[in-house]
Amino acid sequence: MCIAPVDEMRKNHMTMLLHQRDKTVQQGIRGQPASLTGCIDCHVTPDASGTVARSDDEGFFCTSCHRAASVKIDCFECHADRPAEMISQLDWKSLNPINHSSLLAINQQSFPYALQFRLETRSMALNQ
């Protein structure tokens, strides 16, 4: 059972999503029935072998219809196409983390504090 009858959903899901999208982003109204995460949480499930279809696979819930209707959406360029717990299984550390401390060290070596000082002393000299 979805948040509305199937006919209603087929006809109006895009309007509902659009409406909810602006409410969520601009007013912080979350956890409502017509939220995209809500859709994904129910409609994206692993198949018998335990694998999950990704947004550009034919078997993905949205794609199966959109292909037939030749509708192109860009939701999943930004939004996750899987429920949260399937993503949290990924090891974040393995995904090429930004190493801030070493960058900072490199920066300090190659760009000592002298830049602004150099410019300022020159301005002062020119002013005199």
Partner 1 sequence: MSLILIIVALFAALNMEHEGHYITGMDNQIVWGVPHVVAIFLIISASGALNIASIASVFGRQFYTPLSRLSTVVAITLLIGGLSVILLDLGRPDRLLIAMTYFNFSSIFAWNIILYTGFIGIGIIYLWTMLDWQADKYRKPVGIIAFCWRLILTAGTGSIFGVLVAREAYDIVIMAPMFIVLSLGYGLACYLLVMCLFLPEQSWQVFKHRLSRLLAVFIVCGLATSLFYHGANYWWFDAQAVEDFLLFGDDIYPWLIWGGYLILGNILPLLLLGFHFNQNSQASTLLISSLVIAGGLVHLYALIIGGQAYPMPLIEGYDSTSSFFDGVIASYSPSQWEIMLGLGGFALSLFLAGFTVRVFRILPESK
Partner 2 sequence: MNKIDQYRRKFLGAASAAFVGITIAPGILLQAGNAATAGQGVSDAQRWGLLIDTNRCEPGCDACVQACNKENGLRSIHGPKTDAQWIRKVSLKNRKNGHVLNMPVMCQHCAKAPCVDVCPTGASFKRADGIVLVDKHTCIGCRYCMMACPYKARSFVHEKLTDQLPHAPRGKGTVESCTLCVHKIDRGDNTTACVQACPHGAMMFGDLNDPDSAISKQIKSLGSQQLRKKLDLDTGVRYQGIPV
Q: How far is the CB of 66 from partner 2 (least distance, A)?
A: 18
Q: Is 70 in the site for partner 1 (CB under 8 A)?
A: no
Q: Is 14 in the site for partner 2 (CB under 8 A)?
A: no
Could you give the CA distance from residue 23 to residue 125 in angstroms, rounded to a whole number? 58
Q: Is 65 in the site for partner 2 (CB under 8 A)?
A: no
In the numeric block, the tokens 């279809």 are attached to 53
Radius of gyration of the chain (CA): 25
Q: Is 98 in the site for partner 1 (CB under 8 A)?
A: yes
Q: How far is the CB of 88 from partner 1 (least distance, A)?
A: 26
CB 91 within 8 A of CB 85: no
> Binding partner of residue 58 among partner 1, partner 2, none, CB under 5 to 8 Å per kind?
none
Q: Which of 90, 88, 84 is nearest to 38 (CA)?
A: 84
SS3 126: helix
Residue 94 DSSP label: G
Q: Is 108 in the site for partner 1 (CB under 8 A)?
A: yes
Q: Is 90 in the site for partner 2 (CB under 8 A)?
A: yes
Q: Which of 93, 69, 53, 52 is nearest to 14 (CA)?
A: 69
Q: Is 116 in the site for partner 1 (CB under 8 A)?
A: yes
Q: Given the rule CB under 8 A, which residues bind partner 2?
A: 1-4, 21-23, 25-33, 37-38, 40-42, 45-46, 48, 50, 74, 77-80, 83-84, 87, 90, 92, 95-101, 103-104, 108, 113, 116-117, 120
